Structure 1
């Protein structure tokens, strides 16, 4: 064990600002936590002001917070320095002898090594910030919503950086508001809400296919016999009816199911398993334990690594949703890839 939060909480005027958090981040592991933005911001506020943390609520590596790397997207860069000068400055600051050519390759910065940081694109700036993780001495790496507004190339770099840090023995904690990012980046995924921390099971259980007790042929016949025109969702005091093909994807979280249509989400009274059975004839696919996708909306299958996949959708939000390793093979077979 390298880093842990032990009944970490925060209250103000009898109001719970941070629900109780119990979480351990072992050496060589990547732990991802999906939570609301307000909880993530409050956690990072505590990490940035460790004196506000009560004794015993956090177990730190030797060296304390000095041995923790915190990634925040609002970290500043010296705008007049080039990329190479910035890296050299960090090496002097942390008194590190580092192979800068290797870092430039990992973070894909060779093409802009002579550019001043003020001339970098937003994604290039973030890749430069990722490089600091290889220079600053640390045993624990905590990332705050690292993939927000990044391009695909930089998301891949981030994925590689995090894996390398863990492979080298680092303890990696990712805090993100999106479940897709948590699943894509984390080896182990949790949800953190007002009800505390809950493990997210990532592999699809065979018993959750929606066809328990039937053989394949009977299940196929039954699914094709389904006749329906609308899928219902509740919004305040209204019941909204959607044509199945209007739905981009379905997500299950916190014991509830949500339909995503264009840029909005709507709560459904049905379980994701029940919706899978009803929507199968309309070209929907259970891509992950928590997700059901309309295959007509899939634009790309993104391969981050041999164990990490996502689906990029052709919808107004340009959504990306996780694809489990087990269902990657099923999807390839289904789509004749």
Structure 2
């Protein structure tokens, strides 16, 4: 059963195209992520809220057009905003009681307190919680609303690892209950970790996220080239990147990880991205002798920078790096098996 339908949806702002017309549907028990810029994300949210009038296109919830039935928003759509006002003088429990009256929630808070791990904090004032703990209160607020469609804006941005685990557990619970989830984010790593389907939305419209450009048999060909040029590879081990008119060279140990995005490989060093002059497959060959690991079709990681391996779900994993930002890199199921063998784990 389809819960959310977006038909021929497009948005222009003066002479700028925010996004061209696109179609998207989300079924029950499905998690879909849209990766976009801040402007596009805010426009989408304002469309759902009815603050932006659509010239073309429509949004339907359970087959009913929301622009023709304003009550659908309050009943069937729950939005967890990235920046959300909170009653800081209230305790967590009082916060819950306040929203219970608004949403006519007729159950106890025990289950919600447990899944958000706020049990021991329920008598603590909101203002005395950490940012991550406050984020859990925001998750709880939409759970109290209990809509058909949950929309989460940047749900795990700047939160700690424990809170990210909690959010993943919440999405699993909502799926089991037959709910639909739309994640709006500017972080492609988060989108890949959370969602069943990932899209990019921009001026050219909605496009499925390509998980790398691996070609069958390409690795074998690369191996033979590496053997022929092995002496050259060892003589010159720096990785060239291009910034405007300059070529910048980096030693492999400096690199944290590499991401392939729409055919462009970017080398990440201390949180900064440098466009590479090579494909991800070429970089994998150049770096495999320096402790780098192809952890995902779109990612190569420096294993010396990995601090934690986290299991989110049965098929969803991440590598947490030992950098200032505690970067989270997706780890595919097949690569997880390879990594366990490398680490000597059964």
Contact 1:81 1:117 in 2 (8 A): yes
1:84 and 2:85 matched: no
1:100 and 2:95 matched: no
- 2:253 corresponds, among 231, 239, 245, to 245
- 1:257 corresponds, among 265, 270, 276, to 265
Q: Distance in 1 between matches of 2:299 and 2:270?
A: 16
How many equivalent residue pairs? 334
Deviations 1:111-157 (A, max 9, x none): 11111222222111111111122211311111111111111111111
Contact 2:49 2:73 in 1 (8 A): no
Q: Distance in 2 between matches of 1:37 and 1:53?
A: 19
1:14 and 2:15 matched: yes
- 1:323 corresponds, among 328, 331, 335, to 331
Deviations 1:263-290 (A, max 9, x none): 2111112110111111111111100011
Match of 1:140 in 2: 149
Match of 2:237 in 1: 229
The alignment partner of 1:92 has SS state of helix
Deviations 1:66-104 (A, max 9, x none): 310011032222223221122122122111212311111
1:193 and 2:194 matched: no
Deviations 1:235-261 (A, max 9, x none): 001111111221111100022111111
1:273 and 2:281 matched: yes
Q: Distance in 2 between matches of 1:21 and 1:161?
A: 29
The Cα RMSD (Å) is 2.3
Q: Distance in 2 between matches of 1:223 and 1:323?
A: 30
Q: 1:12 to 1:305 in 2, by over 3 A?
A: closer
Q: Distance in 2 between matches of 1:243 and 1:213?
A: 21
Q: Distance in 1 between matches of 2:156 and 2:211?
A: 20
Match of 1:182 in 2: 191
Q: Distance in 1 between matches of 2:229 and 2:299?
A: 19
Contact 1:234 1:268 in 2 (8 A): yes
Q: 1:201 to 1:223 in 2, by over 3 A?
A: farther
The alignment partner of 2:219 has SS state of coil
Per the TM alignment, residue 211 of structure 1 is displaced from its structure 2 partner at its CA by: 2.3
Contact 2:10 2:56 in 1 (8 A): no
Q: Which runs of 5+ in 2 are unaligned?
A: 65-70
Q: 1:79 to 1:317 in 2, by over 3 A?
A: closer
Per the TM alignment, residue 310 of structure 1 is displaced from its structure 2 partner at its CA by: 0.6
The alignment partner of 2:145 has SS state of coil
Q: 1:201 to 1:252 in 2, by over 3 A?
A: same
